[in-house]
Structure 1
Amino acid sequence: MRWVLPLLIWCSLVAALARPIWVGEPVRLPAEGRDLMLAVDISGSMDTADMVLNDKNVNRLTVVKKVVDEFISARDGDRIGLILFGSNAYLQSPLTFDRETVRTFMQESALGLAGPKTSIGDAVALGVKRMRDNPAGNQVIVLLTDGTNTAGNIEPLRAADLAAELGVKVYSIGLGADSMKVPNFFGSRTVNPSRDLDEATLQTLAERTGGRFFRARNTEELNQIYDLIDELEPTERDKKVYRPERDVFFWPLAFALCLSALLLVTLRWPGLFEKILQPLQKAMPQRSDES
């Protein structure tokens, strides 16, 4: 009997080391959808307050957050990824069916987080790379920017060629109003806040990939992205069944820890359990010998 506890502890530890898993009920993944990589400009110029939202002047990034959030929410069945770019381009979220996570990342984006400049070519090239790593039938990059390529290692049109080779469409959207009033010494003057927007490059970039260029001067025009995505043909996917898995190794590990504590108690006070069990043994009915 003295080997029972050590044996049980050893068996529990072996079971924990085997890392048992719990397999849940099967979950059917969407059978069709699109692969959409959103590339969003968060450079310093996105702070320009030339947009109107709910009758208030707001900066460009505020409007983009609202429109993109609604766009992601409506894309049931699509795999969506997010790239944020400024002086550098960063993959904020890989292609995923988890729309809530992508929405959260978009809402948490901040001006200047990726640097003050604009690396359009790097953003598109990064999107193409992620599409190449996750091939599918219909892949689209939606590029949102308000400027021209002023940073990065890859020129936008070179990135467009890479996208065209892989069959990835790029839909580019140029953001920014054509005019806005700014205060000066004599009161105010009208300026063009989008004078740095390189529409020609954005249009060529889109056309080389079979996509389309959009000019968004206000919130209403930016919502054209919905019409654009609705026009895309869904990607046919093989129907897959996913069974969620969860580690349960902590149960045998916890059992081993409890038994170890029990073993330590028995070694420290050898007669303790006999004293505890004596009243129980006396209370049990004694079996009489049959004659």
Structure 2
Amino acid sequence: MSPIEQWVQAFQLGFGGFAWPWMWLALPLPWLVAALLPAVRSQSPALRVPYGDRLEGIAATGAVARRFRVNWFAALAWLLLCAAAARPQQLGEAITPPQAGRDLMLAVDLSGSMREPDMELGGRAVDRLTAAKAVLADFLDRRIGDRVGLLVFGSRAYAVAPLTLDRDSVRSQLRDTVSGLAGRETAIGDAIGLAVKRLSKQPAGQRVLILLTDGVNTAGALDPRKAAELAKNEHVRIHTIAFGGNGSGMSIFGMRLPSQGDDDIDEDTLRAIASTTGGRFFRARDTEELVGIYAELDKVEPIARPGRAVRPRIERYPLPLALALGFGLVALGWRGLRS
């Protein structure tokens, strides 16, 4: 689209005015300078004649006329330069930004039991972590407007992605995680404590932790129930997800054997954590149930609603600035031809 077409569109969509309208005060400056400053005259006469006084009067009258003679190209260039300095702006098409969302921290269990291949994804058997990654990636796609962070835990808890609006970076960090990366045991209490520490540094608002685990707290310095009390004091709501144990483990020869996953998950503690902090407890025995849980979390923790529509201001000073330069060059050329 050419600059002229952009200006036509500016008036069609709505002219937003000038960002610096006071720059128009400079418009009469050249004429004020011409009127107030004295004409430059030589101190020594070049020619002495008896009727010099009359000639001097005639010359003075002509000088005044020349001073106020208008070079229309220069005047137009100055007008356009003042217009560019005032920063004309166009009102763009209305956009609806999201309102401030939640501070949402995801805590994912990377203990050794997450390697158990008792899940199904796309018609093939996968381990629990692979299934959780796939579902979490889809969940992240829908959290527009939320600041999302990621921490992982095993024997210890680690923050791998800070709270950010860049969900792609969180998804990338999640994709690179592997089972056993943080140790083979499960430190649920430490994971909650680390999440509360990160969330408490953020402005007060909707602070939410979604914790996914398939085991029992077997490591760490902080008891999960004590950690839940800390979360409650910091106004952090925790939703807990017990994942795994659908009774279809797999042997090394591909034969499915019963899994003991149900017995390895401390559902009572996870329920107590959720209840203490005002969150909810969920149980997922397969991928479909996990998908349903995150869909339910979208309802429990709704996605940010659209905010008030705004029309962005687009700068349109380049065109008058370019035209001012062009007319200025023409004015100089015209003056040279006349002289």
In the TM superposition, what are the counterparts of 1:55-94 in structure 2 within 5 Å?
55-94=123-162
**Which SS does the other structure have where 2:265 is aligned?**
coil
Q: Which residue of 2 aligns with 1:225?
A: 294
Deviations, residues 106-133 of structure 1 (Å, cap 9, x unaligned): 0000111101100000001111011111
Q: Which residue of 2 aligns with 1:43?
A: 111
The whole-number CA distance in structure 2 between the counterparts of 1:211 and 1:44 is: 27
Cα–Cα, structure 1 residues 188 and 137, in superposed 2: closer, same or farther, change >3 Å? Answer: closer
Q: Which residue of 2 aligns with 1:130?
A: 198
The whole-number CA distance in structure 2 between the counterparts of 1:81 and 1:29 is: 21
- 2:267 paired with 1:211: no
Is the 1:118–1:147 contact (alpha carbons within 8 Å) kept by the matching residues of 2? yes
The whole-number CA distance in structure 2 between the counterparts of 1:181 and 1:100 is: 32
The amino acid across from 2:299 in the alignment is D
Cα–Cα, structure 1 residues 71 and 188, in superposed 2: closer, same or farther, change >3 Å? Answer: closer
Is the 1:138–1:234 contact (alpha carbons within 8 Å) kept by the matching residues of 2? no
Q: Which residue of 1 aligns with 2:77?
A: none
User: How many angstroms does 1:32 deviate by?
Assistant: 2.0
User: How many angstroms does 1:31 deviate by?
Assistant: 2.9
Is the 1:32–1:234 contact (alpha carbons within 8 Å) kept by the matching residues of 2? no
Is the 1:128–1:168 contact (alpha carbons within 8 Å) kept by the matching residues of 2? yes
Question: Larger C-alpha radius of gyration, 1 or 2?
Answer: 2
- 2:241 paired with 1:178: no
The whole-number CA distance in structure 1 between the counterparts of 2:147 and 2:252 is: 48
Cα–Cα, structure 1 residues 118 and 31, in superposed 2: closer, same or farther, change >3 Å? Answer: same
Deviations, residues 204-242 of structure 1 (Å, cap 9, x unaligned): 011000001000000111111122133225679x99xxx
In the TM superposition, what are the counterparts of 1:87-236 in structure 2 within 5 Å?
87-183=155-251, 189-223=257-291, 224-233=293-302
Cα–Cα, structure 1 residues 191 and 235, in superposed 2: closer, same or farther, change >3 Å? Answer: closer
Runs (4+) of structure 1 exceeding 4 A deviation are 181-185, 233-236
**Which SS does the other structure have where 1:81 is aligned?**
strand
User: How many angstroms does 1:66 deviate by?
Assistant: 0.3
Deviations, residues 115-154 of structure 1 (Å, cap 9, x unaligned): 1100000001111011111133111100000000001110
How many residue pairs end up in the alignment?
213
Which ranges of structure 1 fall in alignment gaps of 5 or more residues? 1-27, 240-291
Which ranges of structure 2 fall in alignment gaps of 5 or more residues? 1-95, 309-339
Cα–Cα, structure 1 residues 83 and 181, in superposed 2: closer, same or farther, change >3 Å? Answer: closer
Cα–Cα, structure 1 residues 150 and 31, in superposed 2: closer, same or farther, change >3 Å? Answer: same
User: How many angstroms does 1:195 deviate by?
Assistant: 1.7
Is the 2:161–2:170 contact (alpha carbons within 8 Å) kept by the matching residues of 1? yes
Deviations, residues 136-185 of structure 1 (Å, cap 9, x unaligned): 31111000000000011101001100011111110000011231255599
The whole-number CA distance in structure 2 between the counterparts of 1:183 and 1:108 is: 26
The amino acid across from 1:232 in the alignment is E
Cα–Cα, structure 1 residues 135 and 54, in superposed 2: closer, same or farther, change >3 Å? Answer: same
Q: CA RMSD in A?
A: 2.7
The amino acid across from 1:162 in the alignment is L
Is the 2:189–2:227 contact (alpha carbons within 8 Å) kept by the matching residues of 1? yes
**Which SS does the other structure have where 1:195 is aligned?**
helix
Q: TM-score, normalised by structure 2?
A: 0.58
The whole-number CA distance in structure 1 between the counterparts of 2:195 and 2:134 is: 22
Q: TM-score, normalised by structure 1?
A: 0.68
